[in-house]
């Protein structure tokens, strides 16, 4: 440990002792003569260590400022050509989300103790930003509130993983858990009139999209071997942050696509869509039938003058592969752009969160065409994280797993958000899709 970190650690211990004495008086007690003497001695020691720490930091800065490059070995036979050249070494690219993963590892090692976690972060070389964030953590009712500068990394990393976010849905902060977005429901009447006619009076009508915080809890089992790794390593950090974001993205996508708004969940695209925009497809027996069905989804938005600023498709992998492999009578691919995740000029999001077991035959699916520029995610920009090495969890197949027995730590991440379109006319859904079944 460096001298600076040593002094910081020593000063923290002195401060803990001072605070313990101060707490006696805060609780209405009275310090004894010995305790008063001890308080004075600790106060003097705190000032002495602070002075030493200031000098040590100044010494390190001066040493860094006056550092000179080490002379490279020279070849006596070579002519003098000025100062030696050194090959440039590119700075290693920082892994997105690494700071979040390191914070999780430090907190898990410290069992949620922010001050101890900050020291662990320093000892393991996680950097000043992680240590400072851990030092300022606030405990919440269900765990630790992640600082916004770190939780924003998680939100950014969700974008490529969550289909609804990736296709261009806009985000809004939830102030005090709510946000209201006004929307125009009916427009003014405009028309030509004669020279002596009165201008007709018309009235615009408005509505509101109200988003309120819905709590999403993700439970992520992480190997204790990974969390206990003592140094900073991109591969370890990538596994940890990948587990966190994948768990959040998977459940979030399901909610934003197909949840019905009950049981404290957001209402998804399927249940925001108007009944007239739920379009049953044909049997898909011919290329022409499939193409007509897809065109109906686009036409549903064009007919109501949707803005179509950021339109896109969402479909299940089975439907995507069917359309990608669809060929005409000459053996040519009907939609060759599907190789680039494009369909009829619009981006395609593929996710297993669109079911393929709907309908009486349990073989139907859905295809969504949405103007995502007209959809909003209202989200609280803080996350809450909690830990347990003893809890059990359901592995998804109905089997209960003990984290203690598996040598795992359960990391619970709680996020708050809501979802909705400003205009419900911006959503169309092809239903009863059996393509590829």
Nearest to 350, CA basis, from 309, 373, 321: 321
The model's pLDDT over 17-37, given as tens digits with 9 standing for 90+, comes to 888 888 888 777 888 888 888
CB 384 within 8 A of CB 144: yes
For 260-371, where are the E strands, in sequence order? 278-280, 311-315, 342-343, 346-350, 365-371
- CATH number of 141-186+202-437, picked from 3.40.50.2300, 3.40.50.1220, 3.30.2400.10, 2.60.40.420: 3.30.2400.10
pLDDT tens-digit map of 326-347: 999 899 999 999 999 999 999 9
Can you name the residues that pair with 218 across neighbouring β-strands? 413
* CA-based nearest residue to 143, from 118, 121, 112: 112
* CA-based torsion, 239, 244, 249, 254: positive or negative: positive
Could you report the per-residue pLDDT of 241-282, keeping only the tens digit for each?
Answer: 788 788 888 889 999 999 999 888 999 999 999 999 999 999
Euclidean distance between CA atoms 415 and 379, whole angstroms? 8
| Residue 141 burial (10 A CB sphere; 0-12, 13-18, 19+) | exposed
Higher pLDDT, 70 or 183: 183
Q: ∠245-251-256 over CA atoms, to 5°? A: 115
Strand partners, 371: 311
Q: Give the integer Cα–Cα distance in Å for 179 and 172.
A: 8
Find all residues with CB under 8 Å of 312, minimum gap 6, and list them: 167, 168, 346, 347, 348, 349, 369, 370, 372
Q: Which segments of 244-324 are extended strands (E)?
A: 278-280, 311-315
DSSP string, 327-348: B-TTS-BS-GGGGGTEETTEEE
Helix (H, G, I), strand (E, B) or coil at 167: coil
The predicted structure's pLDDT at residue 72: 44
Prediction pTM value = 0.67
């Amino acid at each position: 440990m460096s001298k600076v970190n040593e002094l910081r650690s020593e000063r923290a211990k002195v401060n803990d002792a001072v605070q313990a004495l101060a707490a006696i008086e805060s609780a209405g007690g009275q310090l004894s003569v010995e305790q008063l003497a001890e308080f004075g001695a600790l106060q003097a020691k705190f000032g002495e260590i602070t002075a030493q720490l200031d000098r040590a930091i100044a010494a390190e800065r001066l040493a860094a400022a006056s550092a000179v490059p080490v002379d490279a070995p020279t070849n006596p036979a070579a002519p003098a050509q000025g100062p030696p050249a050194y090959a440039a070494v590119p700075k290693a690219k920082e892994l997105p989300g690494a700071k979040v993963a390191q914070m999780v590892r430090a907190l898990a090692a410290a069992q949620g103790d922010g001050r101890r976690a900050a020291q662990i972060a320093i000892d393991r070389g996680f950097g000043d930003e992680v240590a400072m964030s851990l030092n300022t953590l606030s405990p919440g009712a269900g765990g630790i509130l992640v600082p916004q500068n770190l939780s924003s990394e998680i939100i950014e990393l969700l974008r490529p993983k969550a289909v609804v976010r990736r296709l261009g849905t806009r985000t809004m902060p939830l102030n005090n858990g709510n946000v209201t977005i006004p929307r125009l429901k009916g427009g003014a009447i405009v028309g030509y009139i004669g020279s002596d006619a009165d201008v007709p009076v018309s009235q615009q009508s408005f509505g509101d999209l109200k988003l309120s915080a819905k709590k999403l809890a993700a439970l992520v089992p992480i190997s204790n071997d990974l969390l206990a790794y003592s140094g900073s390593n991109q591969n370890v950090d990538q596994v940890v942050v990948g587990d966190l974001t994948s768990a959040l993205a998977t459940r979030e996508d399901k909610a934003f696509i197909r949840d019905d708004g009950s049981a404290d969940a957001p209402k998804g695209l399927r249940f925001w869509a108007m009944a007239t925009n739920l379009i049953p497809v044909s049997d898909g027996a011919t290329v022409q039938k499939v193409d007509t069905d897809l065109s109906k989804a686009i036409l549903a938005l064009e007919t109501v003058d949707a803005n179509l600023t950021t339109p896109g498709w969402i479909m299940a992998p089975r439907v995507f592969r069917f359309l990608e492999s669809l060929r005409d009578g000459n053996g040519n691919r009907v939609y060759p752009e599907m190789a680039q995740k494009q369909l009829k000029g619009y981006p395609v999001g593929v996710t297993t969160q669109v079911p393929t077991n709907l309908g009486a035959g349990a073989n139907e699916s859905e295809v969504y065409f949405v103007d995502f520029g007209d959809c909003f995610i209202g989200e609280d920009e803080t996350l809450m994280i909690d830990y347990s090495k003893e809890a059990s969890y359901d592995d998804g197949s109905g089997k209960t797993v003990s984290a203690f027995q598996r040598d795992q730590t359960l990391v619970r991440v709680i996020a708050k958000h809501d979802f909705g379109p400003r205009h419900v006319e911006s959503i169309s859904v092809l239903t009863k899709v059996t393509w590829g079944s």
